[in-house]
Structure 1
Amino acid sequence: MIEWLLYIVLGAGLGTMGGLFGIGGGLIAIPALGVLFGLDQQLAQGTALVMVVPNVLLALWRYHQRNRIALRHAVPLSLCSFVFAWLGSIWAVGLNAHAMRLGFVGFLVALAVWNVLRMFLRASPPSAEMRYAWPWLGVLGSFAGTMGGLFGVGGAVVATPILTSVFGTTQVVAQGLSLALAAPSTAVTLFTYGVHHSVDWAIGIPLAIGGLLSISWGVKLAHALPEKALRALFCVFLVVCAVMLGFEL
């Protein structure tokens, strides 16, 4: 019972961050499960997805309530992400766990560097309108889905910085669209990990309960923060996740 309460509290913290950054909480849950509970990379990713799937669905609904998500943008993103997340997850469950962790750390560092560079580069003012539509949204969905299936993070963490920098959306709009992309891809990825026995349900379920209790607070905070502050926090968040996993290598 005490362990379940611990997992629920941890899930609540992860859910708040997932709502804040529009990623469902999996990005920080994976290193946390590896560092705190000693799970290998595949098992940590699969277990985190038990929390991520309901968190993403609830966060998507909350973002849509506050800032309506355009279906013409969300549909190509989510459909392509779904297909390529399935392929990425099949690839992931057969890889060496240590190699997966190395790849994941590199993935986080690359994202952090890219986001830091964007803060210093001159860019056009963001808007709710897309600079590019189909087929480029399909390309983004395919790439983000593959990374999400491979690393168990739903693809939102990849899509968000690309949507703000390349497609020119605001951070909040990008996070909402990224959740639409992540919703089907996280579900199919969890299914694949579960079939291959790479999920610890006893940890994942209480994490999911905690996340559902708190993710709305994160969404509310995301809409209250200034654009630059939200981007800066996202960069710090990526670096912290990479450092946590680095200690396990």
Structure 2
Amino acid sequence: MYLLLGAAMGTLGGLFGIGGGLVAIPALGVLFGLDQQLAQGTALLMVLPNVLLALWRYHQRNRISVRNAMMLIVPSFVASWLTSMWAVRVEAQNMRIGFVGFLIVLTLFNLIQMYWHKGNAGAELRHGRWLWVLGLGSGITAGLFGVGGGVIATPILTGIFGATQVAAQGLALALAAPATVITLTTYALHGHVNWLMGIPLAIGGLASISWGVALAHSLPERRLRSLFCVFLVFCAIMLCFRL
């Protein structure tokens, strides 16, 4: 059952380009009754191999700027470590309320992105010296909610920093990988990971994420983003029934 659920969440993760974590957390909380921290920790176990595999495959085809990546990784790693240490001690109900709020903000952010006129992309990033701010913010959301790096970083890198889509996706993967590792480690040390559930979820997700990616490439970008917003609102509503 967990393999099949992991396959379904992996497909949705590939479809929306989110690695499956944003799908898994509401599903684990609503369908299996896991408290918020346990759902986030178990989802991180599912997401980590997807992120590492995607980063490895990406690096084989596209060169990631080490300088830009480090400006994102260092503050993200520190922020995710510190916030995850605080997050595991927050009362589960309050954490779930915060996650619902995060989904609502993320929905609004994606709606704005649909109508945001982006400047011309180039080889050099605009405002490159401010990359650390993006790394810091992504690290905070990753530590608190187990998601955030790729979901937030990619559109900001293309919309504000002027990165090409390919460069933005590579930097977002480089940003997400260390934050996911340290956040998962913190959650695991505090007993907020269900290993018997998370491992088959990860296997199912790895086997199916390519299907979602293929489906995403067959849909118009605006329709795909609209579906993502609908999905986020649905997850928020379902989690509200658990509050």
**TM-score of the superposed pair, with normalisation by structure 1:** 0.87
Q: 1:133 aligned to 122, 128, 133, which one?
A: 128
1:122 aligns with 2:117: yes
Tell me the percent identity: 66
Q: How has the CA–CA distance of structure 1 residues 68 and 110 changed in structure 2, closer, same or farther, with 3 Å as cutoff?
A: same
Partner of 2:168: 174
Q: Partners in 1 of 2:231 and 2:172 — Cα distance? A: 17
Q: Deviations over 1:181-215 (max 9, x none)?
A: 11110111111001101111111010011111122
Q: 2:32 pairs with 29, 37, 56, which one? A: 37
Question: Secondary structure, in 3 states, of the residue corresponding to 1:199?
Answer: coil
Displacement of 1:152: 1.0
Question: Do structure 1's residue 156 and structure 2's residue 177 form an aligned pair?
Answer: no
Contact 1:89/1:149 (CA < 8 Å) preserved in 2? yes
Q: Is the 8 A contact 1:171 1:231 kept in 2?
A: no
Indicate conservation of the 8 Å contact 1:9/1:210, yes or no.
yes
What do the CA deviations read for 1:20-50 (whole angstroms, capped 9, x no partner)?
4333211110000000000000110011111
The one of 208, 218, 233 aligned to 1:214: 208
Residue 119 of structure 2 aligns to a residue in which SS?
Answer: coil
Distance in 1 between residues matched to 2:70 and 2:209, nearest whole Å = 24
- Distance in 1 separating the partners of 2:115 and 2:148: 27
Structure 1: gaps spanning 5 or more residues: 1-5
1:45-84 deviation digits (Å, cap 9, x = unpaired): 0111110111111122334445543333222212221111
Question: Which of these residues, 137, 159, 175, is aligned with residue 165 of structure 1?
Answer: 159
SS in 2 for 1:148: helix
> Partners in 1 of 2:33 and 2:191 — Cα distance?
17
Of residues 222-231 and 93-102 in structure 1, the stretch that sits farther from structure 2 once superposed is: 222-231
Aligned residues: 243
From the superposition, tell whether residues 172 and 217 of structure 1 become closer, same or farther in structure 2 (CA, over 3 Å): farther
Secondary structure of 2:28's partner? helix
Please tell me whether the aligned partners of residues 36 and 95 of structure 2 are also in contact (alpha carbons under 8 angstroms). Answer: yes
Q: Is the 8 A contact 2:216 2:224 kept in 1?
A: yes
Amino acid paired to 2:108: V
Query: Which shows bigger deviation, 20-29 or 84-93?
Result: 20-29
What is aligned with 2:97? 102
Aligned to 1:49: 44
CA distance in 1, matches of 2:67, 2:2: 38
Deviates more, 1:64-73 or 1:29-38: 64-73
**Alignment equivalent of 1:228, drawn from 207, 222, 225:** 222
What's the counterpart of residue 188 of structure 1? 182
For 1:40 and 1:237, how far apart are their aligned partners in 2?
21
Answer with 11-20 or 98-107: which moved more: 11-20
TM-score, normalised relative to structure 2: 0.89
The offset of 1:178, in angstroms, is 1.6
